[in-house]
A and B are shown apart, each in its own frame.
Chain A
Amino acid sequence: MASSGPVSAPVADLVGAFTPAVFARHINANSTAHAWWLERKRAAYARFESLPMPSRTDEAWRFSTLAGVALGGYAPSPEGAAAATPPALAVESAATLSFVNGRLSGSSPVSADLAKRGVVVSTLSDALARHPGLLREHFMAQPQKLGSAKFAALHEAFIQDGAFIHVPRGVEVDKPIVVVHGASGAGAAVFPHTLVIAEDNSRVTVVDHFVSEGESRQFACGANDLYAGHGARITYAAAQCWSFETLSLQFNSTVVRRDARVQSLNLHLGGRQARHESLSQLQAPGGFSEMLALTIAAGSREYDQRTLQIHQAPNTKSDLLYKNALLDKSRTIFSGLIVVDPDAQKTDAYQSNRNLMLSDDAESNSLPGLEIQANDVRCTHGATSSRIDPEQEFYLKSRGIPPKAADELLIFGFFEEVLSRLESEALHDALRTLIRTRIQS
């Protein structure tokens, strides 16, 4: 081998633990899968291998701790320990799927009635056999525009399995469908995935719940695709409760068709360093995407949220509200962009990032942005950071409420504006309870 030529990064830095040999083993272990699936995986791995790691000069990674996303020391999707049945969310559900390290560990099916009407809640591997067309059309079909093309490729290369939810035209599922993605074992790398396809005029609520078994160091590299057909309505909630040693990278893509409405709420309650990228594409008139997020940042954790609201058609609406509560020495980054295409007149776009600082040592960074090419639009964006009002704190304490409980009440008070947007009271209560357990842990 010649040692001349341009100096490139050592391969180990580019792929970390996810070497070609490891990938070859992964493919061998899954050799019976659909040829199309394996082909995609190979192409994805090639992309992963060739794309550079994020660098200092990368605008999409501004303020992020790059050392934290190094990929060494993980093992992709080891068989999960049988004992790892994660705790369920306290909400009545229409169906559940539970995965541990990407493998199905339990499920409860939809009712006979919903099944008869064609509602499918299954694994991606089942869907690959039964609904290949739908998978080809919607699985990771949208562009990665927010900086993590490399990690999205890694996700696609190593994905073991995931949730597939298909609601046919006009069918309404009242109760939420709950998907639990568990990670088990020190050093486990998991690639959770949830694909939701809501056909025209259907209605569905899906909850993703991410949990670690124990407090070990793990790597979660997940994605979810939401597709809302004409007049469809999706409510999506994700509760990220990975261990506080976990690196979490999560990519969301939402496609909103004519008169459809998607409401998504991401709760960031876990992880050592967690990055969440969310892309909403408003593709046809009347589409509405409501993007909500709540983060509790404590310790020395970092939460990095990157969003993109793209208005591709006239009369579309997007409304983003991300709220972070920062304690201790935590850091948050919010970078949001609203893009309005030239013919997307009468766009109504809103973007707001609010940070509640409960500590002088915490740091919040906000980078709101607009890129507007139409002239008749209403776009507003803003970011605020505020401290807890000492008079409010004194008021609570003067009632005998200890400082920790007072902070908790004020955090909930701060979050309520977002939580109250959920239509379902049961879901609202279940998520509140979950937040409370995480705060107290």
Chain B
Amino acid sequence: MSSLEIKNLHVSTGDKEIVKGVTLTINTGEIHAVMGPNGTGKSTMAKAIAGHPDYIITEGDVLIDGKSILEKESDERAREGIFLAFQYPSEIPGVSIANFLRAAIQARMAEGEEIDASAYYKRLYQKMDLLKIDRKFTARAVNEGFSGGEKKRSEILQMAMLEPRFALMDETDSGLDIDALRIVSDGVNSLRGPNLGILLITHYQRLLSYIVPDHVHVMIDGRIVKSGDKSLALELEARGYDWVKHEFANA
């Protein structure tokens, strides 16, 4: 078992503090949902963990199996097993999905070791079939001209191919139609297991009825103000965030 520990994490951009002391431990095999109003710092936290250069960690630590990853570059963190499924994935014109994923897999191999191309394509097609992505997509440039839903599916395809230990999934459900939500959820559930820990950022209880979380956390104004089990998500859906804010303010 591995663990991703987020310890008293403070994140700033410019001189504005956005994440104000988050502590959370994700073990492989677990799914943690993070919910919270717009602009409370959920994406910022996820991007800071993945090593985005715009976000400065001013205090706290992020550790994998007890070892801090903060000194590592984003690409090293990814090779350590962190995967960020972006809320807004970038378009990379001229770079096909097939070549992109190949480079990502190649980066995980030892010096001098080469990808077995036929095995690679076999695996790629198998994952694409699972996510009901047309095989023609392999030749298309990464995310270029993709619909919102296609982008999200392509994020999950990458996750399936790269087999991270810890996936930070940022609103992977937004922009998906009902069928796509089902397909993506099935895809994520098929990856679920003792070797994968997931941090699932979402606004909707609906996703959590497909991908059932072990823990649910509420993030407000850069802090986790309440944690519970999956029933917390149902309660939020029914009552909104105000009561949590009040509860927190009065605590």
Which A residues have a C-beta under 8 Å from some C-beta of B?
389-392, 394-403, 405-406, 409-410, 412-417
- Partner pick for B100 among A390, A399, A402, A414, CB 8 A cutoff: A399
Most buried by B among A396, A397, A399: A399
Are B78 and A398 in contact, with the CB atoms below 8 A? yes
Are A413 and B94 in contact, with the CB atoms below 8 A? yes
Please report the total number of B residues contacting A with Cβ < 8 Å.
Answer: 31
Given A395-B89, A409-B103, A401-B94 contact (CB < 8 Å): no
- In the bound assembly, the distance between CA atoms of A399 and B102 in angstroms comes to 11
- In the bound assembly, the distance between CA atoms of A395 and B52 in angstroms comes to 9
CB-defined A-B contacts under 8 Å, sample of 17: A390-B53, A392-B92, A394-B74, A394-B90, A396-B92, A396-B103, A397-B75, A398-B78, A398-B83, A399-B104, A399-B107, A400-B78, A400-B107, A401-B78, A403-B73, A405-B107, A414-B94
Are A413 and B141 in contact, with the CB atoms below 8 A? yes
- Partner pick for B51 among A398, A405, A413, CB 8 A cutoff: A398
Are A413 and B75 in contact, with the CB atoms below 8 A? no
Given A392-B90, A402-B107, A413-B93, A397-B99 contact (CB < 8 Å): no
A404 to chain B, nearest CB (A): 10
Are A409 and B75 in contact, with the CB atoms below 8 A? no
Q: Quick check: is B50 within 8 A (CB to CB) of the other chain?
A: yes
- Partner pick for B94 among A390, A394, A412, CB 8 A cutoff: A412
Known contacts A400-B162, A405-B106, A412-B99; 17 further A-B pairs (Cβ under 8 A): A390-B53, A392-B90, A394-B51, A394-B90, A398-B51, A398-B52, A398-B83, A400-B104, A402-B75, A405-B103, A409-B99, A410-B92, A412-B94, A413-B94, A416-B141, A417-B93, A417-B94
For A394, list chain B residues within 8 Å (CB). 51-53, 74, 90
For B86, list chain A residues within 8 Å (CB). 395, 398
Which B residues have a C-beta under 8 Å from some C-beta of A?
50-54, 73-75, 78-79, 83-84, 86, 89-95, 99-101, 103-104, 106-108, 141, 158, 162
Closest B residue to A390 using CB positions:
B53
A9 to chain B, nearest CB (A): 48
For B101, list chain A residues within 8 Å (CB). 399
Are A389 and B94 in contact, with the CB atoms below 8 A? no
B78 to chain A, nearest CB (A): 4
Closest A residue to B73 using CB positions:
A397
For A414, list chain B residues within 8 Å (CB). 93-94
For B162, list chain A residues within 8 Å (CB). 399-400
A398 to chain B, nearest CB (A): 5
Are B103 and A401 in contact, with the CB atoms below 8 A? yes
For B84, list chain A residues within 8 Å (CB). 398
- Partner pick for A401 among B52, B93, B107, B141, CB 8 A cutoff: B107
Given A409-B103, A413-B93, A398-B53 contact (CB < 8 Å): no
For A413, list chain B residues within 8 Å (CB). 92-95, 141
A297 to chain B, nearest CB (A): 18
- In the bound assembly, the distance between CA atoms of A399 and B106 in angstroms comes to 11
- Partner pick for B158 among A399, A403, A412, CB 8 A cutoff: A399
| List of 4 A-B pairs having minimum Cβ-Cβ separation, nearest first | A413-B94, A416-B94, A400-B78, A413-B95
For A401, list chain B residues within 8 Å (CB). 75, 78, 103-104, 107
- In the bound assembly, the distance between CA atoms of A396 and B91 in angstroms comes to 10
For B50, list chain A residues within 8 Å (CB). 398
For A392, list chain B residues within 8 Å (CB). 90-92
For A400, list chain B residues within 8 Å (CB). 75, 78-79, 104, 107-108, 162
- In the bound assembly, the distance between CA atoms of A394 and B82 in angstroms comes to 14
Closest A residue to B168 using CB positions:
A398
For B106, list chain A residues within 8 Å (CB). 405
Given A390-B53, A402-B107, A409-B99, A397-B94 contact (CB < 8 Å): no
Are B78 and A409 in contact, with the CB atoms below 8 A? no
Are B90 and A410 in contact, with the CB atoms below 8 A? no
Closest A residue to B88 using CB positions:
A391
Closest A residue to B96 using CB positions:
A416
For B91, list chain A residues within 8 Å (CB). 392
Closest A residue to B141 using CB positions:
A413
For A398, list chain B residues within 8 Å (CB). 50-52, 74-75, 78, 83-84, 86
